[in-house]
């Protein structure tokens, strides 16, 4: 199981690092969105801070995944972003759905592996 978690952690770290670095530093031209995706992306751009904040969080979590430090925390922090990636591709851009599903499975696997670290946080006292 340790090898599986290591592979999942590194793959997720690489995917989030690539996605965040290319957007933050504008290393690759982004395809022109159309339809509902354009409306959604225009809304994200209109907030000014939202896309940058998401990408910075992705970058910080990717460093945690790749370094192996604070992985349980990074797993919890990246989960809402993962949910939104999955829902975005489920409802607006289904061509990216396989990758979104794999990210969600990876996140859930890491959360399950580190479940003992969350006991104190989830106990009702």
Domain ranges, ordered by start, for the chain: 2-122
Q: What's residue 124's pLDDT?
A: 83
What is the C-alpha R_g of the chain? 16
Query: Rounded distance, CA 100 to CA 95, Å?
Result: 10
Mean pLDDT of 11-27: 95
Distance, in Å, from the CA atom of 116 to the CA atom of 41, rounded to the nearest integer, reads 38
Mean pLDDT of the chain: 94
Residue 80 confidence (pLDDT): 97
- Give, as one character, the DSSP assignment of residue 95: G
Q: Is the pLDDT of residue 71 over 90?
A: yes
Residue 121 is predicted with a pLDDT of: 84
Tens digit of each residue's pLDDT (9 = 90 or more) over 79-95: 999 999 999 999 999 99
């Amino acid at each position: 199981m340790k090898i599986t978690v290591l592979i999942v952690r590194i793959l997720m770290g690489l995917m989030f690092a690539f996605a965040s670095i290319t957007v933050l530093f504008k290393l690759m031209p982004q395809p022109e969105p159309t339809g509902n995706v354009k409306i959604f992306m225009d809304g994200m751009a209109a907030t000014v801070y939202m896309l940058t904040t998401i990408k910075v969080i992705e970058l910080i979590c990717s460093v945690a995944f790749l370094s192996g430090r604070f992985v349980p925390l990074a797993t919890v922090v990246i989960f809402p972003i993962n949910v939104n990636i999955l829902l975005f591709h489920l409802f607006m851009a289904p061509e990216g759905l396989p990758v979104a599903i794999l990210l969600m499975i990876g996140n859930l696997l890491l959360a399950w592996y580190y479940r003992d670290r969350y006991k104190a946080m989830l106990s009702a006292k």
